[in-house]
Amino acid sequence: MIPFLPPPEDNDFTPLITGKMAHATYLPAVNAPYVRAMSKSMAKFRGNREKSLPGYARTSIFNFLDKSKGKVRYPYALYSAGQAMLDTAKGDVEEAFIQKRNRRTTKILADSGGFQLITGVLDIKWDNEADANKTRRDILNWIEHTADGGMTLDVPLAAIDVQPNKWTFEKCLAETIKSNRIFAEKKTDTAILNVLHGRTIPEEEAWYKAVKDFPFQGWAFGGGIRGNLGRVLRCLIKLRDDKMLDKGRCQWMHFLGVEQAHTSLAYTAIQRILRFTVNDEIMISFDSSNPFREADRWQQFVTHITFQPKKPFINVNTVMARKEDAAYFDNPYAPRSPILEGLTAKDLFPDGVTADSGMDELSYQILMLNNLYMRLLANYQVNHVADAIRGSQALAREKGITPDPSFLQGAVEIEDIIIAIFRSETPLSLIDEHRAALEGYF
């Protein structure tokens, strides 16, 4: 049985991101409803009924970026142009959670919204070059105004699945290159990340060859690459050998839309070996919108997390919040996080709500904050427990003892493989040798 570590004091999950042994950084991909809710007064949620909610007297308690106010403290996030107000004057008011944050103590990565462009959520007239370029510049201006880093306006290869009669690999790449040229023209202090795609290795190689010489400050991995650890490592070896990960060439590396406990361990292993062997300042991050999407779209909330000996190592257990199951919240024995502590069924399913869910905007905010807390706790637990196990195994070996590898063994093995690949004179051969383990890990 693996003991849980106590949560950090004051629910402050601020990770150590400097130093060679730092963990990779999880970026919660916050959604627009959560962001904009904090520009409202609590009275706009429920009038005077907020007095019945213990600990929820003001909307600023949802501000996890503000250590002095938030119920959960975490200084990093991702926000997408596909959801944001590109009118920065308006966004400064209605999205102040992001735009008016303390920039000395927080870090935001901006997603350029490429997928929202191909699905029509963001309007761009691809066949009108002037209009398309205006949108590119508008998004670049928003990224500079908003974030510490941001991705170029790529056209993901998923566009081919969404609109097969309109998009091809060649067209996705060509429109991405046009965006890269505009992003490269403007000198900015914001770190710009060059996005790589490829459904297959030949596509990945062609994409990389076409974009690699743009003078950006990092890399982002999407599509078929990010979901396959073997392909991730193959790509990183190529970047390393081409000096694309060196200081001055790569500040930040990001993996789009992937977050589970075991993926966090792999990214941490990659960051550590790169900091030891290539660039001691490189930062690796990864994101997911799960905490917000689960609550906002499916009315789900995380009840508790449990360890298990095999991947994903930590299970994040969710249930649907339904009015007919409201008694759950009145059960003193039901598992719950500190975010839900003290709340009753009536708090989350207030009288007078006409929506089928029985919940109002404040209910959803609380569930999203709860889910964020539990996802942060899962990443915190698995990274620190893995470090402790790795340390105890090393100590056992020093004493001539064979340690019991029953827990997180898959993660320890993957870490060993990653380290060996980056230290090998024939890394691609090692990747091929361990293909099954690597391709099956994510």
Report the distance separating Cα 67 and Cα 82, nearest Å.
Answer: 27
List phi, psi (to 5°) of 278. -130, -55
Q: Tens-digit pLDDT profile for the chain (442 aa)?
A: 455 677 888 889 988 777 888 999 999 999 999 999 887 766 666 655 545 576 777 788 899 999 888 889 999 999 999 999 999 999 999 999 999 999 999 999 999 998 787 777 787 888 899 999 999 999 999 999 999 999 999 999 999 998 899 899 999 999 999 999 999 998 888 999 999 999 999 999 999 999 999 999 999 998 788 889 999 999 999 999 999 999 999 999 999 988 777 889 999 999 999 999 999 999 999 999 999 999 988 888 898 888 777 777 788 888 888 777 777 777 776 777 888 888 888 888 888 888 888 888 888 999 999 999 999 998 888 888 788 777 756 554 555 545 445 556 677 788 899 999 999 999 999 999 999 989 888 8
Contact 292, 310 (CB under 8 A): no
A 10 A CB-CB count for 25 gives 24
Report the distance separating Cα 323 and Cα 334, nearest Å.
Answer: 16
Whole-number pLDDT of residue 180:
97
Domain ranges of the chain: 15-294, 299-408
Give the pairing of strands 300-307 and 314-320.
antiparallel
Tokens standing for 159?
């566009």
- Please, is 390 exposed, middle or buried when counting C-beta atoms within 10 Å of its C-beta (0-12, 13-18, 19+)? middle
pTM score of the predicted model: 0.92
Contact 335, 304 (CB under 8 A): yes
Rounded to the nearest 10°, the torsion over CA 142, 143, 147, 151 is: 160
Report the distance separating Cα 198 and Cα 423, nearest Å.
Answer: 26
A 10 A CB-CB count for 42 gives 20
Whole-number pLDDT of residue 218:
97
Instruction: Output 168-177 pairs: Cβ under 8 A, ≥24 positions apart.
Output: 169/199, 169/203, 169/206, 172/197, 173/197, 173/206, 173/207, 173/210, 175/126, 175/132, 176/152, 176/211, 177/210, 177/211
Contact 190, 143 (CB under 8 A): yes
CATH dotted code for 15-294? 3.20.20
